[in-house]
Amino acid sequence: MKTYQRPATAVEIELEIKRSRFLGLAMPVQGVEDAQQQLATIRAAHPHANHHCWARISGRPDEVRLWDSSDDGEPRGTAGRPMLQILQHSGLGEVQVVIVRYFGGIKLGTGGLIRAYGQSTNEALNSLSLETVEARTDATLSVPHPLTGELEGLIRQLQLPVEERLWQAEYTVEFSLTTEQLSLLRKALGRFAGQYQLKVNDN
């Protein structure tokens, strides 16, 4: 996939369906960790909500391993799955939708919940302004464990989006990088004095 679209900024919409309030938040995300942090922020902002259901595509639209969703206590398959299906058909990448529900006392039933979460997701996505994303390259960087702090400092300095961190024989970080980010990373690796292994997937 050469290019795709993602949200340019975050948006929030609100619906009332049979006295339940549904807040639909759609946002750009840079990897799984960023998505999780934004979800935690939303949970903290709405501690008294009954549900915080979500769906995300944390990278390119075709990276199936980065598709994920949660019903967060709603009946199985009534929230996260229909939300994710809408995201998949949108063609967007690097996107997360969180639907915050305040229960109004009237049960919606399975079909009603699917419609409510689907409508909230669609309205949030329809409110987004979009931007085009250039192609990214998967890269894996490994360093000896004593250099973990040094590598984490480099990640913060260059603001690199982390896909996964692995504590194996060495400390390994997986990235999905733009051409510019990969170039900056290569230039900065001199500080490790050869004590690193960088693997780049050039497919």
Q: Are 46 and 28 in contact (CB under 8 A)?
A: no
Biggest distance spanned by C-alpha atoms of the chain:
64
**What class, spelled out in words, does domain 137-201 have in CATH?**
alpha beta
Each residue's pLDDT expressed in tens, for the chain with a length of 203 residues: 568 999 999 999 999 999 999 999 999 999 999 999 999 999 999 999 999 999 999 998 998 999 999 999 999 999 999 999 999 999 999 999 999 999 999 999 999 999 999 999 999 999 999 999 887 789 999 999 999 999 999 999 999 999 999 999 999 999 988 888 999 999 999 999 899 999 998 65
pTM of structure: 0.69
Per-residue buried b or exposed e for 51-75, using 16+ beta carbons within 10 Å of the residue's own CB: bbbbbbbbbbbebeebbbbbbbebe
Q: Please state the domain extents for the chain.
A: 4-132, 137-201
- 4-132 matches 137-201 in fold: no
CATH tag for 4-132 (out of 3.30.230.30, 3.40.50.300, 3.50.50.60, 3.40.50.10860): 3.30.230.30
